[in-house]
Amino acid sequence: MARVICIANNKGGVGKTNVAVNLPVFLAALGKKVLLVDFDHQANATISLGINPKDLPLSIYHVLMGQVGPRAIVQKTAFLRYEILPSSQDLAGAEVELVNLKDREFKLKQVLEKISKDYDFVIIDSPPSLGLLTINALCAANEVLIPVQCEYLAVEGFGQLLETVDLIRNNLEQDLKITGVLLTMYNKRNRLSREVTEEIRKKFPGYIFETKIPRSIKLAEAPKFRKTIFDYAPVSKACLAYRELAEEIIRLEKEELPNSATCFGGPQNFPPRNSA
């Protein structure tokens, strides 16, 4: 059974799409087959993987509306074992179209039930809001990973998301657990980053990933060039952090990790790529 992880935060600018795009690269390198679901109409995850949404006749919107099955729109990425259900601007209207439908909160879940068995991980990049699309993303998942920027206002903002997770558990009877809170844009030399980290640890003990994603110009630049952090800066601290995050997420499942020396042999042979 696939682990379906929704990357969610109702606040924008916390590195959510960066996590959604880069984490699968390293999960795939560890031998896991991964599907990324771009569930944001801005299609930033799709674009970051070098796919132009305007060139696609079909996207996740058409699947959600029942016009086509999910396998019809699956796109390969440059990496072996890493595929994507791309998004497009069409998804912007889905929230209005879904509102009067029966089981409207479960449309994405129904889609993923048709395809998730083909994968070890399904990663959902959700919109930066708590609207119906985000509710769909959370209901489709069995886990939620919450990226939080190391700033006080970001900390204040994600309490509402946790309340929404509780409502989904209780009112919609979904077995949704929190994988963890991921600190992003972290600078260990910055006092604010350290203080925010400590505050979050006190508020949510046991939920904080050991891995922290550092503040990185390379990480911010990579999407501009339609590249993952591995493609753009394979020896950067940010690239190393995503490798460590993938290992940590797999350890949470108590799986035995492959030997790091074999998996992470260097930029030349890691991660495995699809042939051109």
Tens-digit pLDDT string for the chain (276 aa): 899 999 998 777 778 999 999 999 999 999 999 999 999 999 999 999 999 999 999 999 999 999 999 999 999 999 999 999 999 999 999 989 999 889 999 999 999 999 999 999 999 999 988 899 999 999 999 999 999 988 777 676 677 888 888 989 988 888 899 999 999 988 888 888 888 888 888 877 888 999 999 999 999 999 999 999 999 999 999 999 999 999 999 998 864 434 433 444 443 345 666 754
- The secondary structure of 84-150 as a DSSP string is EE---GGGGGHHHHHTTSTTGGGHHHHHHTTTGGG-SEEEEE--SS-SHHHHHHHHH-SEEEEEEES
Dist. CA 241–CA 85, nearest whole Å = 25
Residue 170: which CATH number? 3.40.50.300
Could you list the residue range(s) of the whole structural domain that residue 66 is in? Answer: 3-178
Domain-located, residue 265: no
Please give the pLDDT value at position 150.
Answer: 80
Please give the pLDDT value at position 14.
Answer: 78
CB 61 within 8 A of CB 96: no
Domain-located, residue 213: no
Omega within 30 of 0 (cis) for the link into 271: yes
Domain-located, residue 90: yes
Dist. CA 208–CA 53, nearest whole Å = 34
Beta bridge partners, 5, equal: 123, 143
Please give the pLDDT value at position 270.
Answer: 54
Residue in 247, 170, 184, 173 with CA at minimum distance from that of residue 219: 184
Task: Say which amino acid occupies 46.
Answer: T
The total number of structural domains in the chain stands at 1
Please give the pLDDT value at position 273.
Answer: 63
Domain-located, residue 250: no
Domain-located, residue 214: no
Please give the pLDDT value at position 54.
Answer: 96
Domain-located, residue 223: no
Domain-located, residue 211: no
Domain-located, residue 255: no
